[in-house]
Amino acid sequence: MKLKIHVNALQTISSDVLILPLFEEDSADKLAKWVKKFGQTLEAAAKDFSGQKGQTQLLYPTEGRAKRLLLMGFGKTSDATMESIRQGIAASAAVVRNVGAAKVTMALPGCFLETADVSQALTEGLLLALYQFDRYKTSKKEVLFAPKQLGIWTKSQPNAAKKGAEAGKVVAEAVCRARDLVNLSPNEKTPHILANEAREDAQKWGFNIEIWEKKRIEAEKFGGLLAVNLGSPEPPAFMILEWKPEKALNEKPLVLVGKGVVYDTGGLSLKPTKDSMDHMKCDMSGAAAVIATFQALSRMDLPLQVIGLIPATDNRPSGNAYVPGDVIRMHNGMTVEVLNTDAEGRMILADALSWAQQYDPELVIDIATLTGAQVVALGNFVAGIMTNEDAKAQERLTLLQEAGMRSGDWVHPLPMFPAFGDLVKSTVADLKNVGGPAAGTITAGKFLEHFTNYPWVHVDIAGPAWIATPRHYQPAGGTGFGTKLLIEFLRMRVQQADAKPEISEQAELA
């Protein structure tokens, strides 16, 4: 998909579909102006169109160079956010497909948001909505149409519009990469296939990767990862991704840890099939988000040193599988009593978090489809975030929440009071891997905390990683959740360091 920025008069843009987002406040004025540019069809349309949120109207102009116009209502300007723009533009994807529009142009609507942000959000919303996972479709007929060129029309600040659209394209493509990895069938998603996919990305985009085989994992005594892997015929893998530009702003690295359970049957504590095991190929969504973030780091050339750690295995029952009652010695030497083999995510993350200690990191963020309790607490809209309680805890949570608001990957903090930690104390070992029925997301967080000795945020994405019913720019299946969150968080980290005051100008639709 090619990007193009247009600044010439709107009626001179040749396009198969020219998308015109409109806010309620200025909808009538703009439509009146456009009658001169596009002809009388607009006059009739103006009577039916108010800019109300969700309204769409396809028109065939009698003047101007666009073949079709698509009016889209974006609601009240005052309600506009990057996410409302992403969600708003998503409905245009169906029209673009239905008419087979090879050349699509979106006009930037003027509002109080930054031009670059509006341009980024529009680009992300459309590209994400156009995503289709067609790997397993045999018939070409089922493969949906995709446009070739995406134009952005702006009345002012073309450079900001261009930067925003380019960032939006990188973000959307990263999210789509994460979705592809999540949607991959379990029979072709072994730990080493996943590792090789990451290696291909590393080669394609230019970041470093090291992949450990089982021997190295044994040598490093990753007891949690090895225990979970016991039931599987496929060996585990441990990936170390690295983005280390010369001009990095951060002295200590940022570390991203992704849960890479390529399939979670529950192990001997077997999951029921329906609405549970049936979508557990999504249990490497954290890993997918981390892998996808690295391509964005590289494509955006962000001046940050970042490490990615991904423990990968499946979790299966077999004669050799780890059993409830097993006591496992972890990489950091602590012992864990396994009381439920389905609480495997924390077992493999614990080793990765211990390994992260040697980097003396500025911050570690782990991202994982960790608990069913997260889905109960926050549904599939919002991820739960938890952090260790030091002086900067609140600041970290606030920053991640802000990245969540901007990226549309919403997150919300859960409390980490010491009392929750008592629930994962074991009578026979240092810890047990389940905390009982209450506050399951937090007790999982408390478990992980024992393996950290640095500033750390845990992101539980069990709910938002996967949706059974499509919504706005998310088709059913893997959502790629967490990818735009991490990318936005890292971009914000760069901006903080730059601390350049931003010049705010406003673009306005002609």
The answer to whether residues 494 and 304 touch, using CB atoms and an 8 Å cutoff, is yes
375 counts as binding ligand BES under rule CB under 6 A: yes
Contact partner, 234, from ligand BES, Zn ion, Mn ion, none, Cβ < 5-8 Å per class: none
264 counts as binding Zn ion under rule CB under 5 A: yes
CB neighbour list of residue 200: distance below 8 Å, 6 or more residues apart: none
Whether 281 is catalytic: no
Nearer to ligand BES, 315 or 388 (CB): 315
Tell me the C-alpha to C-alpha distance, in Å, between residue 7 and each of 10, 120, 154, 159, 178. Answer: 8, 17, 5, 10, 33
Nearer to ligand BES, 253 or 463 (CB): 463
346, 406, 446, 484: the catalytic one is: 346
Q: Return the SS3 of 414.
A: coil
Whether 271 is catalytic: yes
Nearer to Mn ion, 100 or 436 (CB): 436
Nearer to ligand BES, 209 or 227 (CB): 227
345 counts as binding Zn ion under rule CB under 5 A: yes
The answer to whether residues 128 and 172 touch, using CB atoms and an 8 Å cutoff, is yes
* Count of residues that interact with ligand BES, criterion CB under 6 A: 16
Shortest gap between Cβ of 286 and ligand BES (angstroms)?
Answer: 10
Q: Where are the alpha helices (DSSP H) in 248-361?
A: 285-299, 345-356
Shortest gap between Cβ of 268 and Mn ion (angstroms)?
Answer: 11
List the one residue from 5, 237, 343, 385 that touches ligand BES (CB under 6 A).
Answer: 343
Q: Which of residues 203-262 bind Zn ion (CB under 5 A)?
A: 261
434 counts as binding ligand BES under rule CB under 6 A: yes
383, β-bridge pairs: 411
Shortest gap between Cβ of 155 and Mn ion (angstroms)?
Answer: 52
Rounded to whole angstroms, the Cα distance separating 148 from 3 reads 9
Nearer to Zn ion, 74 or 447 (CB): 447
Rounded to whole angstroms, the Cα distance separating 86 from 75 reads 13
Stretch that binds ligand BES, among 167-175, 229-237, 301-309, 341-349 (CB under 6 A): 341-349
Nearer to Mn ion, 251 or 275 (CB): 275
User: Which of 274, 259, 354, 367 is CA-nearest to residue 315?
Assistant: 259
Residue 132, CA atoms < 13 Å, CB-side half-sphere = 15
Nearer to ligand BES, 365 or 375 (CB): 375
CB neighbour list of residue 110: distance below 8 Å, 6 or more residues apart: 26, 155, 506, 507, 508, 509
Number of residue whose CB is nearest ligand BES = 372
313 counts as binding ligand BES under rule CB under 6 A: no
Q: Where are the alpha helices (DSSP H) in 80-189?
A: 82-90, 92-98, 115-129, 158-183
The answer to whether residues 185 and 136 touch, using CB atoms and an 8 Å cutoff, is yes
Q: Which of residues 248-307 bind ligand BES (CB under 6 A)?
A: 264, 283
Q: Which of residues 451-470 bind ligand BES (CB under 6 A)?
A: 462
Q: Where are the alpha helices (DSSP H) in 191-264?
A: 191-205, 214-219, 223-229
460 counts as binding Zn ion under rule CB under 5 A: no
Shortest gap between Cβ of 342 and Mn ion (angstroms)?
Answer: 4
4, 163, 199, 271: the catalytic one is: 271
Contact partner, 93, from Zn ion, Mn ion, ligand BES, none, Cβ < 5-8 Å per class: none
Contact partner, 201, from ligand BES, Mn ion, Zn ion, none, Cβ < 5-8 Å per class: none
Rounded to whole angstroms, the Cα distance separating 457 from 474 reads 26
List the one residue from 88, 253, 404, 440 that touches ligand BES (CB under 6 A).
Answer: 440
Nearer to ligand BES, 407 or 441 (CB): 441
Shortest gap between Cβ of 367 and ligand BES (angstroms)?
Answer: 12
Q: Return the SS3 of 422.
A: helix
Report the C-alpha dihedral over residues 462, 299, 122, 147, rounded to 10 degrees.
-100
Positions that interact with Mn ion (CB under 5 A): 264, 342, 344
User: Which of 106, 111, 110, 140 is CA-nearest to residue 123?
Assistant: 106
463 counts as binding Zn ion under rule CB under 5 A: no
Tokens linked to 9: 């008069």
CB neighbour list of residue 138: distance below 8 Å, 6 or more residues apart: none
Residue numbers annotated as active site? 271, 346
Where do contacts with ligand BES occur on this chain (CB under 6 A)?
264, 283, 340, 342-345, 369-373, 375, 434, 440, 462
Binding residues for Zn ion (CB under 5 A): 261, 264, 283, 345
